[in-house]
Amino acid sequence: MTEFDYIIVGAGTAGCVLAARLSEDPAARVLLLEAGGAERTRAMTMPDAWPDLLGSAADWADVTSAQADAGPVPYPRGRALGGSGAINAMAHIRGHQAVYDGWAAAGAPGWGFADLLPYFRRSEHAEGRDPSVRGTTGPVQVAAVPGPDRHPVAVAFAQALLQIGCPASDDLSGSGQDGVAWADLAIAGGRRVSPADAYLAPAMGRPNLTVSPGCLVTGLQVRDDRCTGVSYLRDGTLAQARASEEVIVCAGAVGSPHLLLLSGIGPARQLRDLGIDLAADLPSVGRNFQDHPVVLACYATPEPLPRSRYNHGEMYAALRSPLAGACPDLHLFPILLPAAPAGRQPPDAGYALAASVVAPDSRGTVQLAAADPQMAPVINPGFLRDGRDTDRLEAGLVLIRQATACLAFFSQIRAAEAHPRPDVTTGARLRAWIRGTVGSYWHPAGTCRMGPDIDPDAVVDPQLRVRGITGLRVADASVMPVIPNAPLNATVLAIAEKAASLITGRD
């Protein structure tokens, strides 16, 4: 048994930020436990190699339960120093300001956009952006693909979207958050900037920070409503560590509810049925699961295309379907590789154009499959449970087809639609394609959502403290009450920066 002041579970995006910030105080003894390894492979470094990480040792390589009519959907999440931030596609985009203002209005005071702005800025170094809203000195260096390097398909798609009347945005993380944009990517000097590179590496030499990869945390120890430490498996041996101040769970929107449930923090009946002793009856642990569903239109080209030297995406359009509320609810982006939905044959040469619902109405769950911590939980993002999300994806596919039919596109790119195929024109057949092939943008969120003390469905309070247990916080993508309408990494960095301030009392 070893004792620390703070134990952080999970060295992903949030865990790296917290380990670095909490260990800035030389008197604070910090332990960071990570199930994955410390290896930093070539694919984790070179931006264009990120697809090779899917299914690698740095990926939990989960699958969901059956989704819509598509069956189980592949569900990668990072398992390494840097977590999902070490295997992701590196897009660095904030959600729309209205999303965070919605969090505050729904009972999370201190989490509106103006409250979060200092933490967004603290985390990033965005060269050439508006410094009144973007960070210029933070650890995560980000930039858009420079003009001469842009991939021809991404350029043609951007021009075509503008030609059919979509707005342009200079910076989706700036003041104009609607439109076609060359988004920032966490790439500097031709290399990925993961949360481990940006935050953990510079802190690694501190004598008060212990980083332990290869440690699967199997349970939180709770005595008299206080979390006193954790148990974990290392090389098949069970070990324990005690926390004199706090345990901070940063295991991600799948891993965090999984660990809480294994530790008896969750819906009493479900836990009792699995023979798990109850520590706190919190019915909403694992509920409110949100993710961005994706559908693809896939194109075959007569010749192989040049290879993207960046993230095989480069350009992102935040657009509004007829169902949009206060912010854009659709993302359109290219996949600059021959691609197809799971189970379909990609063309020999080509690319895909993707539509994603970034303000979904559907909700899902993460639940225990068994009380065995080494068994994956049941992951059900609930894609297309709400028919409005199918309507939005249909609107996205229609926009993609309008764009590819316009002169700006087909004068530059010769291609044939391989999936769903040009003869799939009716609404019913398009919807069947969507329901049969829906996949994920891989942005799980919301499974330990924050809310006010009076809200029985809140798992953590606005200080991120788990209700009913002292000495325990959750700080990662799982605390988001509503998923932002953008990839999540930039928001998770800001959440973790704010969590560090809440814990230390330092601003």
Ligand X SMILES: Cc1cc2nc3c(=O)[nH]c(=O)nc-3n(C[C@H](O)[C@H](O)[C@H](O)COP(=O)(O)OP(=O)(O)OC[C@H]3O[C@@H](n4cnc5c(N)ncnc54)[C@H](O)[C@@H]3O)c2cc1C
Q: Which two tokens stand for residue 282?
A: 């919190």
Four-CA torsion 90, 91, 92, 96, nearest 10 degrees: -150
Residue 95 is classified by DSSP as P
Contact at 8 Å (CB) between 479 and 467? no
Contact at 8 Å (CB) between 452 and 107? yes
* 313-322 b/e (C-beta count within 10 Å ≥ 16 → b): bbbbbbbbbe
If binding is defined by CB under 6 A, does position 123 make contact with ligand X?
no
CA distance 443 to 89: 11
Name which position in 44, 68, 87, 400 contacts ligand X (CB under 6 A).
87
CA atoms within 13 A on the CB side of 169: 23
If binding is defined by CB under 6 A, does position 260 make contact with ligand X?
no
Which residues lie closer than 8 Å to 421 by C-beta, 6 or more apart?
Answer: none
Name which position in 20, 31, 70, 89 contacts ligand X (CB under 6 A).
89
Q: Phi and psi dihedrals of 377, rounded to 5? A: -75, 170
Kindly state the smallest distance separating residue 490's Cβ from ligand X, in Å. Answer: 6
Is 443 annotated in the active site?
Answer: yes
Kindly tell me which of 140 and 160 has the beta carbon lying closer to ligand X. Answer: 140
If binding is defined by CB under 6 A, does position 32 make contact with ligand X?
no
Q: Strand 140-142 and strand 124-126: pairing? A: parallel
Residues 90-109 that bind ligand X (CB under 6 A): 90-91
If binding is defined by CB under 6 A, does position 243 make contact with ligand X?
no
Kindly tell me which of 408 and 459 has the beta carbon lying closer to ligand X. Answer: 459
Kindly state the smallest distance separating residue 309's Cβ from ligand X, in Å. Answer: 16
CA distance 233 to 33: 10
Kindly tell me which of 195 and 420 has the beta carbon lying closer to ligand X. Answer: 195
List helix spans (H) across 208-265: 252-262
Residues 212-231 that bind ligand X (CB under 6 A): 216-217
Residue from 96, 151, 331, 443 carrying the catalytic annotation: 443
Kindly state the smallest distance separating residue 269's Cβ from ligand X, in Å. Answer: 23
Residues 462-481 that bind ligand X (CB under 6 A): 476-477
If binding is defined by CB under 6 A, does position 286 make contact with ligand X?
no
Interface region with ligand X, contact rule CB under 6 A, candidates 244-252, 278-286, 414-422, 497-505: 244-252
Q: Phi and psi dihedrals of 175, rounded to 5? A: -85, -20
If binding is defined by CB under 6 A, does position 88 make contact with ligand X?
yes
Which residues lie closer than 8 Å to 345 by C-beta, 6 or more apart?
Answer: none
If binding is defined by CB under 6 A, does position 33 make contact with ligand X?
yes
Kindly tell me which of 156 and 251 has the beta carbon lying closer to ligand X. Answer: 251
Interface region with ligand X, contact rule CB under 6 A, candidates 85-93, 352-360, 361-369, 400-408: 85-93
Kindly tell me which of 217 and 384 has the beta carbon lying closer to ligand X. Answer: 217
Q: Which two tokens stand for residue 2?
A: 């070893």
204 φ/ψ sector (left φ>0, alpha ψ -120 to 50, else beta): alpha
If binding is defined by CB under 6 A, does position 447 make contact with ligand X?
no
Residue 278 is classified by DSSP as P
Kindly state the smallest distance separating residue 241's Cβ from ligand X, in Å. Answer: 12
Q: Which two tokens stand for residue 311?
A: 């993230």
Kindly state the smallest distance separating residue 61's Cβ from ligand X, in Å. Answer: 10
If binding is defined by CB under 6 A, does position 492 make contact with ligand X?
yes
If binding is defined by CB under 6 A, does position 336 make contact with ligand X?
no
Q: Is the peptide bond before 420 cis (omega within 30 degrees of 0)?
A: yes
Name which position in 192, 392, 443, 473 contacts ligand X (CB under 6 A).
443
If binding is defined by CB under 6 A, does position 442 make contact with ligand X?
yes
Which residues lie closer than 8 Å to 131 by C-beta, 6 or more apart?
Answer: none
Contact at 8 Å (CB) between 336 and 153? yes
Name which position in 8, 9, 166, 459 contacts ligand X (CB under 6 A).
9
Interface region with ligand X, contact rule CB under 6 A, candidates 24-32, 196-204, 251-259, 409-417: 251-259
CA distance 452 to 390: 32
Name which position in 47, 83, 328, 381 contacts ligand X (CB under 6 A).
83
Q: Phi and psi dihedrals of 325, rounded to 5? A: -95, -120
If binding is defined by CB under 6 A, does position 35 make contact with ligand X?
yes
Interface region with ligand X, contact rule CB under 6 A, candidates 21-29, 86-94, 206-214, 272-280: 86-94
| Chain contacts with ligand X (rule: CB under 6 A) | 9-15, 33-36, 76-79, 83-85, 87-91, 216-217, 250-253, 255, 259, 442-443, 476-477, 487-490, 492
Active site amino acids: 443
